Amino acid sequence: MRAWLQEWKRRLRPDRARVPVFYDEPYRLPFARLDAHHGLEPRQVDFTTGYLLEAGIVRATDIHRPRPVSYAQLARVHDAAYLESLEAPETLASIFAVEPSVVPVDTVLDTVRRICGGTLEAARLALCTRRPAVNMAGGFHHAAPDHGGGFCVLNDIAVAITTLRQEGFGGSVAVLDLDAHPSDGTAACLSGDPHVWVGSLSGSDWGLVPGADEVLLARGCGDAEYLAALEALLERMPRAELAFVIAGGDVLRGDRFGLLGLSLKGARRRDLAVARALHRVPSVWLPGGGYHAEAWKVFVGSVLVLDERGHEPIQERFDPRGMLARHPSPLKALERQQAWEAITLEDLEGALGYADPGRPRLLGHYTEQSLEYALFRSGVGPSLERLGYGPPRVSVDVSAAGERLQLLGHAHGREHVLMDCVLSRQRVEGADVLFVDKLLLPQPRAAASPPVEEGEGAREVLEMLRFMAQRLGLRGVFFPPAESSLPGAPQARCG
């Protein structure tokens, strides 16, 4: 169909359902030098989102801000030992190929957990509307149950599918991986689900990928050869009740790591073919990788296809870096300003999430993210919800006055302090222990429902402290006499 006819059809249906988009400002990778070292632009998600907003393809009301997935949801896919290792900057540094000294652990884990949440919530919405939904980041297909790699920490697609299964969705799922690299991690994570098909076109030979319909293309494969291979893969794809599409931007000719040779027009034709094949199938579209200066344009094309504007060209004059210089957040780019406002380098780095990796850790070890994992492992989160509070939030304050840990939860429209203590490492009776001072334990609200057992909440918090001590290599937890009368507290050191 000619482009002008497609455009008039679109104008005659101005109130049609628009493509929902999941995005938030923390989506950007919190590394300032990935582009110099690896050709990966850490603001690429902002380039794409900013263009879609400025061009009017996506409105602010089309954007949904997701919540991070929980550690309970992650634990259905990833091994406990691997999740625990993520608190070490060395683990994340190896995944992103950077120095451990530049890794802001909490910021990175919040980013990837939030992106995983976007993929999950997009899948839920797609199933409800029976239409496509878009997550502006994601497609972390190299993350396996016990390790990450290739800039992929957590496997968002596998987390979404296993969570949907837990919630009762039993339908067939197709994962169409059109990133330029094999779908090794996704296939490994989903190998136990017989109702998931993984199909992939890639330009890198990483050996056999068990559990995937993996097609290896010739190096430099161009548009015609690629599209022919795609048509064959789509013919083999079984009919699904939900689909995930990694519309990788690393398929472009000249991509640093992709090794294929598509043009921007070829990538658009790829997405048009996939959209036709998935007609009336709920689908989640993800950008995958891209290590080319124009990689962000590939996913813009994907969204245009889903918005029935597949033949619309991308404006050549759009300057994504200029947009971010004017407005560090694409969402703020909607607020047109009359005059340009200068910003400092410190302002820009703060807005881009380049947090100080030297932020103090509780007891020299625990970040807020790793404490959230301790909450999950010890059962504190579910227990506090039974006490009548929402999911807890961790607050850490390391100062000369001591190392303070608080758990906070919402009830009746405000935040309550549920646990408050000062922690330290001390030697007591010849043993190195976790010394707990000034301990306040959670109490049930009067309106807690269902009724809770005596000591519930306190037991789980104490179990969390034992778990923390064990991770630090300490013999146990010690409560001074003033604290030992608290419900559930031991009278002395506990192993």
Of these ranges, 96-105, 227-236, 255-264, the one predicted with the greatest mean pLDDT is 227-236
pLDDT at 192: 94
pLDDT tops 80 at residue 328: no
Domain with residue 43: its CATH number is 3.40.800.20
Same domain? For 56 and 194 the reply is yes
Closest of 487, 488, 463 to residue 477, by C-alpha = 463
Same domain? For 388 and 344 the reply is no
pLDDT tops 70 at residue 488: no
Cβ atoms of 354 and 108 closer than 8 Å: no
If you average pLDDT over residues 72-84, what whole number do you get?
Answer: 96
If you average pLDDT over residues 237-246, what whole number do you get?
Answer: 97
Same domain? For 347 and 386 the reply is no
Residue at a domain's end among 351, 377, 394: 351
Distance set, CA 162 to CA 64, 168, 236, 272 (Å): 22, 10, 24, 28
pLDDT band at 485 (very low <50, low <70, confident <90, very high): very low
Same domain? For 208 and 303 the reply is yes
Q: Per the domain annotation, does 197 fall within a domain? A: yes
Place of tokens 């064959």: 232
If you average pLDDT over residues 325-343, what whole number do you get?
Answer: 52
Tens of pLDDT, residues 161-212: 999 999 999 999 999 999 999 999 999 999 999 999 999 999 998 888 899 9
pLDDT band at 113 (very low <50, low <70, confident <90, very high): very high
For 53, residues 6+ apart whose C-beta sits below 8 A from its C-beta are 59, 60, 330, 331, 333, 334
Same domain? For 212 and 102 the reply is yes
DSSP string, 323-336: HHHH-SSTTGGGS-
CB atoms within 10 A of CB 477: 25
Which residue would you say has higher pLDDT here, 295 or 409?
295
Same domain? For 332 and 376 the reply is no
Mean pLDDT, the chain, whole residue set = 84
pLDDT at 317: 85
Which residue would you say has higher pLDDT here, 101 or 350?
101
* 3-class SS of residue 149: strand
User: What pTM does this model have?
Assistant: 0.79
Q: How are strands ordered across the β-sheet holding 283-286?
A: 63-64, 21-22, 132-135, 283-286, 242-246, 173-177, 196-202, 213-216
The single-letter DSSP state of residue 361 is -
pLDDT tops 90 at residue 95: yes
Residue at a domain's end among 351, 376, 401: 351
Cα gap 313→215, rounded to integer Å: 30
For 483, residues 6+ apart whose C-beta sits below 8 A from its C-beta are 436, 437, 438, 439, 489
Cα gap 314→435, rounded to integer Å: 60
Q: Per the domain annotation, does 487 fall within a domain? A: no
Same domain? For 120 and 205 the reply is yes
Q: Per the domain annotation, does 187 fall within a domain? A: yes
Range scoring the smallest mean pLDDT among 196-210, 223-237, 269-283: 196-210
Q: What's the domain range around 143? A: 3-351
What beta strand segments (E) does 132-279 contain? 132-135, 173-177, 196-202, 213-216, 242-246
Same domain? For 379 and 286 the reply is no
Residue at a domain's end among 322, 351, 380: 351
* 3-class SS of residue 152: strand
Same domain? For 322 and 389 the reply is no
Say how far residue 441 (Cα) sits from the centre of its chain.
32
Q: Is the dihedral of CA 423, 427, 429, 430 positive or negative?
A: positive
pLDDT at 455: 59
Same domain? For 201 and 292 the reply is yes
pLDDT band at 358 (very low <50, low <70, confident <90, very high): low
pLDDT band at 413 (very low <50, low <70, confident <90, very high): confident
pLDDT tops 50 at residue 238: yes
For 305, residues 6+ apart whose C-beta sits below 8 A from its C-beta are 268, 271, 272, 275
Range scoring the smallest mean pLDDT among 163-172, 392-401, 430-439: 392-401
Range scoring the smallest mean pLDDT among 29-43, 82-96, 263-277: 29-43
What beta strand segments (E) does 101-220 contain? 132-135, 173-177, 196-202, 213-216
Q: Per the domain annotation, does 375 fall within a domain? A: yes
Q: Per the domain annotation, does 361 fall within a domain? A: no
Q: Per the domain annotation, does 363 fall within a domain? A: no
Q: Per the domain annotation, does 483 fall within a domain? A: no
Domain count, the chain: 2
If you average pLDDT over residues 476-492, what whole number do you get?
Answer: 60
pLDDT tops 90 at residue 494: no
Range scoring the smallest mean pLDDT among 261-265, 394-398, 485-489: 485-489
Closest of 158, 111, 119 to residue 138, by C-alpha = 119
If you average pLDDT over residues 215-243, what whole number do you get?
Answer: 97
If you average pLDDT over residues 6-21, what whole number do you get?
Answer: 60
Q: Per the domain annotation, does 158 fall within a domain? A: yes
Same domain? For 385 and 466 the reply is yes
Same domain? For 383 and 330 the reply is no
Query: How is residue 129 written in tokens?
Result: 């509307």
